[in-house]
A and B are shown apart, each in its own frame.
Chain A
Amino acid sequence: AQSVSQHNHHVILSEAASLELGCNYSYGGTVNLFWYVQYPGQHLQLLLKYFSGDPLVKGIKGFEAEFIKSKFSFNLRKPSVQWSDTAEYFCAVISNTGRRALTFGSGTRLQVQP
């Protein structure tokens, strides 16, 4: 079955630390990949997306993600986190071999300490 794995369930960092959140998916074919963020008390917002082309994509607020097809991964990175990055982060995938809807990972809760 198609699935998306986010192995880091809860990450605690100090401000200015570097961030990398893992995302792996289980299905082949053509994929579109997304990272969504949910700040406390707010709704899900799109952080960045990969459709095709350059596997390194840049999103809002200094976030970037790299699509590595051979590893079925789409890890999220930020060189220096801020307290305001405290949120829950969700990876999502759609492939051309499955339903025409996003499949989400279980999320990673990021806590940035000032």
Chain B
Amino acid sequence: GAGVSQTPSNKVTEKGKYVELRCDPISGHTALYWYRQSLGQGPEFLIYFQGTGAADDSGLPNDRFFAVRPEGSVSTLKIQRTERGDSAVYLCASSLGTLSASGANVLTFGAGSRLTVL
């Protein structure tokens, strides 16, 4: 597509429920990144994929968070047993290739999925 698409744009759930957030990157972009943005903060890295594999998941806060990208395109971020502290905007971004300090790739962000856990 023309841009990075994220669904749902808003999700309200109850504490303890399971949530899935979807990201459809720009066509042809092999790298896909998930970030989380809490109110008044900058985006915080969660995980990134190069192709189908999770290349770095060191930003996932705990084992309730999991992400997949089975066909190297669409990715789903899964949150189990949601807690009120999970409330945030979850941002997805994609780039032609993995970012590096010696490269020329840039991240293009989607509009985000706002998650509210009651």
8 closest Cβ pairs, A-B complex: A104-B42, A96-B101, A44-B109, A43-B111, A30-B101, A101-B45, A104-B43, A106-B42
A67 located at the interface, meaning its Cβ lies under 8 Å from any Cβ of chain B in the complex: no
Q: Which A residues touch B43, using CB under 8 A?
A: 44, 90, 102, 104
- Interface size grouping (class) on chain A: 20 to 34
A51 to B100, CA, bound (A): 10
A71 located at the interface, meaning its Cβ lies under 8 Å from any Cβ of chain B in the complex: no
**B 21-63 to A, binary, CB cutoff 8 A, 1 in contact else 0:** 0000000000001010000111111001000000110110000
Return A48 CB to nearest CB of chain B, in Å. 10
Q: Which B residues touch A106, using CB under 8 A?
A: 40-42
Q: Which A residues touch B118, using CB under 8 A?
A: none
Interface centre among A96, A99, A101 (most CB of B within 10 A): A101
- Given contact pairs A100-B55, A102-B45, A107-B42, A94 touches B106 in the complex (Cβ within 8 A): no
Q: Which B residues touch A4, using CB under 8 A?
A: 42
A30 to B101, CA, bound (A): 6
Residue of B nearest to A105 (CB): B42
B2 located at the interface, meaning its Cβ lies under 8 Å from any Cβ of chain A in the complex: no
